[in-house]
């Protein structure tokens, strides 16, 4: 799609639907469904053949959520319901243990590892909730409620703070994930108690981790809620997370008709794309340093990361939707220009017209560094962005 075509919002909406249904969903239905053991094969080579068979709960649960979401919100296609069932049943049967979720299983469901955070459990919640709606199976909604309640019990007991960085930092990712978990559960199970929690987490994202003075959403802040600019891990900004977190908050502001939340979330989106965009070679950086120093620590463990300037698929997917929604609700032409930049770069570099789907990993110059598709992320960030863009254009365009 060229820049002239981008001027037509109706054409843009049709474009995203075609990307979602005819390209992405078709690719993953064709290649990822594991009808022998259940769930999905998510580590795929360019042509869709399996690159590995380990099953991580994140893409298993999020794939089930995504196929159920398509069934519920796009069209009730039996192939999508069958695919959702494969994932939901695999997660329920093999990944959940004593109100926790394993991080990784073998192809046939034997557990391999578990983490201290609540991410895997949160993704299981949204999978069970949306599968319950798609299949009309109340038992799965009960599972979603019970698992979410278990997450909250661990959170309130301080158990989710027992990982390395919380000895020095508060990290924004756990709250970000819980916002969306509760939002998605609420769409299936309306309960004002979910909203109470969401609004508390939104406040943290927008006014603790997002800092107006530095015009940045920090990956982590000090225990006192202030930026820690003396350390590389304290200066770290992850544009993909920033965009994703901000659109979660923006959607909540719209749902509550709260202008304060809406305006602040739009500001965070502006700050994040300005910091995250590679002005020299285009695309969104993997992570950057707030003070433009050499990026150091980013995510797991301590020490230097070498991939700060890589161009990775999921931050671009999150930026597409965040920028489009921010433009549609604000009318800010600067946001539209940012959106056009991201859209143009993304579909010029990540789309694979020969085999379908998106490449996952590019070098800074936009060339493909490895042709794997899916890996830890699976059928989630890209189709969700396509669906969200399509729905935003239908609602606000």
What residues make up the domain containing 326?
168-349
Q: How confident is the model at residue 3 (pLDDT cuts 50, 70, 90)?
A: low
215 occurs within a structural domain? yes
83 occurs within a structural domain? yes
211 phi and psi, to 5 degrees?
A: -125, 115
In terms of domains, do 60 and 188 share one? no
In terms of domains, do 123 and 173 share one? no
In terms of domains, do 185 and 210 share one? yes
The residue-averaged pLDDT of 103-123 equals 92
Residue 109 pLDDT? 93
In terms of domains, do 98 and 39 share one? yes
For residue 340, count other CB atoms closer than 10 A to its CB: 16
In terms of domains, do 62 and 116 share one? yes
395 occurs within a structural domain? no
In terms of domains, do 154 and 189 share one? no
In terms of domains, do 4 and 122 share one? yes
Residue 164 pLDDT? 42
**CA-based end-to-end distance of the chain:** 18
Distance of CA 328 to the CA centre of its chain: 20
Q: Tokens 């999905």 belong to which residue?
A: 40
368 occurs within a structural domain? no
Domain end, chosen from 123, 142, 162, is at 162
376 occurs within a structural domain? no
Residue 298 pLDDT? 53
67 vs 27: CA distance, rounded Å = 13
173 occurs within a structural domain? yes
264 vs 270: CA distance, rounded Å = 10
Predicted model pTM: 0.94
What sections of the chain are H helices per DSSP? 3-6, 9-18, 26-31, 57-73, 78-90, 119-135, 138-156, 172-188, 192-204, 232-235, 239-256, 259-276, 313-330, 333-349, 381-396
The residue-averaged pLDDT of 6-13 equals 84
How many domains are there within the chain?
2
Nearest to 178 by CA among 211, 208, 155, 206: 155
Domain end, chosen from 135, 162, 189, is at 162
In terms of domains, do 203 and 337 share one? yes
In terms of domains, do 132 and 176 share one? no
In terms of domains, do 74 and 198 share one? no
CA torsion 63→65→67→71, rounded to 10°?
180
In this predicted model, what pLDDT tens digit does every residue of 329-388 receive, in sequence order? 999 999 999 999 999 999 999 999 999 999 999 999 999 998 888 877 899 999 999 999
In terms of domains, do 30 and 45 share one? yes
Domain end, chosen from 118, 142, 162, is at 162
358 vs 282: CA distance, rounded Å = 18
């Amino acid at each position: 799609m060229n820049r002239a075509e981008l001027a037509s919002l109706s054409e843009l909406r049709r474009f995203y639907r075609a990307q979602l249904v005819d390209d992405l969903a078709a690719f993953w239905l064709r290649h990822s469904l594991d009808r022998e053991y259940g769930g999905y094969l998510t580590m795929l080579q360019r042509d869709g053949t399996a690159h590995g068979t380990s099953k991580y709960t994140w893409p298993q649960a999020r794939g089930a959520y995504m196929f159920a979401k398509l069934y519920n919100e796009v069209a009730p296609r039996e192939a999508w319901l069958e695919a959702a069932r494969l994932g939901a049943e695999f997660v329920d049967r093999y990944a959940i243990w004593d109100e926790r979720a394993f991080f990784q299983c073998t192809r046939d469901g034997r557990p391999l590892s578990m983490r201290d955070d609540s991410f895997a459990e949160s993704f299981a919640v949204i999978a069970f909730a949306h599968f319950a709606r798609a299949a009309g199976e109340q038992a799965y909604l009960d599972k979603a409620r019970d698992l979410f309640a278990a997450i909250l019990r661990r959170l309130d007991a301080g158990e989710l703070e027992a990982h390395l960085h919380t000895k020095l930092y508060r990290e924004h990712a756990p709250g970000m994930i819980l916002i969306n978990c509760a939002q998605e559960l609420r769409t299936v199970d309306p309960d004002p108690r979910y909203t109470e929690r969401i609004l508390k987490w939104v406040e943290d994202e927008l006014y603790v981790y997002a800092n107006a003075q530095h015009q940045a959403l920090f990956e982590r802040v000090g225990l006192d809620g202030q930026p820690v600019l003396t350390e590389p891990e304290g200066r770290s900004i992850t544009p993909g997370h920033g965009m994703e977190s901000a659109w979660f908050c923006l959607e909540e502001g719209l749902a509550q008709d709260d202008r304060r939340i809406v305006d602040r979330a739009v500001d965070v989106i502006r700050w994040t794309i300005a910091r995250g965009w590679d002005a020299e070679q285009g695309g969104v950086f993997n992570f950057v340093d707030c003070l433009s120093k050499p990026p150091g620590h980013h995510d797991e463990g301590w020490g230097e990361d070498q991939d700060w300037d890589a161009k990775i698929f999921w931050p671009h997917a999150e930026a597409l939707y965040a920028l489009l929604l921010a433009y549609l609700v604000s009318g800010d032409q600067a946001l539209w220009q940012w959106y056009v930049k991201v859209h143009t770069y993304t579909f010029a570099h990540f789309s694979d017209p020969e085999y379908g789907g998106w490449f996952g990993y590019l070098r800074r110059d936009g060339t493909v560094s490895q042709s794997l598709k899916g890996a830890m992320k699976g059928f989630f960030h890209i189709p969700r962005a396509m669906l969200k863009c399509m729905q935003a254009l239908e609602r606000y365009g």
